[in-house]
Amino acid sequence: MSPRTEKQFERIRSEKVKLITETALRLFAMHGYEATSVSMIAGEAGISKGLMYNYFKSKEDLLWLVTIGGLHQFLDLLKVEDEQNIKRAEIISFIDGNIKALKENPEYFSLYFSLILQPKVMELFKEDMMPHFEQLFVKIAKYYTQKGEKNPYLKARYLMAVFDGIGIHYISDTENFPLDDIRDILVEQL
């Protein structure tokens, strides 16, 4: 048997990181960040606790990767061709992309919503997250400015707060929440 190549080691590392982050996401969403231990994550992933520390410095480091990775996917859904002329269709595409993500990744959103309600945990990510959210608010505010809204930034914050509320209700009652109908009402208000 020949020794592993650098490429093979990188593939193995990538697979382990993916396994660990997916397991951590599921457990953080199910039990909460504070109640989920590194030992729980390692046991569920079928690896040793020591091996976990080969991939992540700490539980906080792991949470950061899980949270920030999902956040970037969320923020990347708002694609605009011209920031000086943001189209309604681009905002609708952003909303639709988020609704699709909500349906496909309920564990991530369950974790996200639980984290934003934990000031101690949010403090860990505030510095990394807020500039990204601010860029999002500014783009949406530009759209509302173009529409002639009196307070476009406030309207952008309102839209995102409504969207958070929709997400929380959907995650809390996935079986019965009329997500697609609510989406239509939200889009009408644009």
Residues of the chain with CATH 1.10.357: 64-188
Query: Mind spelling out the 3-state secondary structure of the chain?
Result: CCCCCHHHHHHHHHHHHHHHHHHHHHHHHHHCCCCCCHHHHHHHHCCCHHHHHHHCCCHHHHHHHHHHHHHHHHHCCCCCCCCCCCCHHHHHHHHHHHHHHHHHCHHHHHHHHHHHCCHHHHHHHHHHHHHHHHHHHHHHHHHHHHCCCCCHHHHHHHHHHHHHHHHHHHHHCCCCCCHHHHHHHHHHCC
| pLDDT at residue number 2 | 62
Supply the mean pLDDT for the chain: 84
Residues of the chain with CATH 1.10.10.60: 1-56
| pLDDT at residue number 4 | 66
Query: Can you tell me the mean pLDDT for 101-112?
Result: 83
Residues 9-55 have pLDDT tens digits of: 677 677 888 888 888 888 887 887 788 888 899 888 888 888 888 88
In the CATH hierarchy, which top-level class contains the domain 64-188? mainly alpha
Residues 90-105 have pLDDT tens digits of: 989 989 998 998 898 8
**Which CATH topology does 1-56 take?**
Arc Repressor Mutant, subunit A (1.10.10)
Residues 52-78 have pLDDT tens digits of: 888 888 888 888 787 777 776 777 777
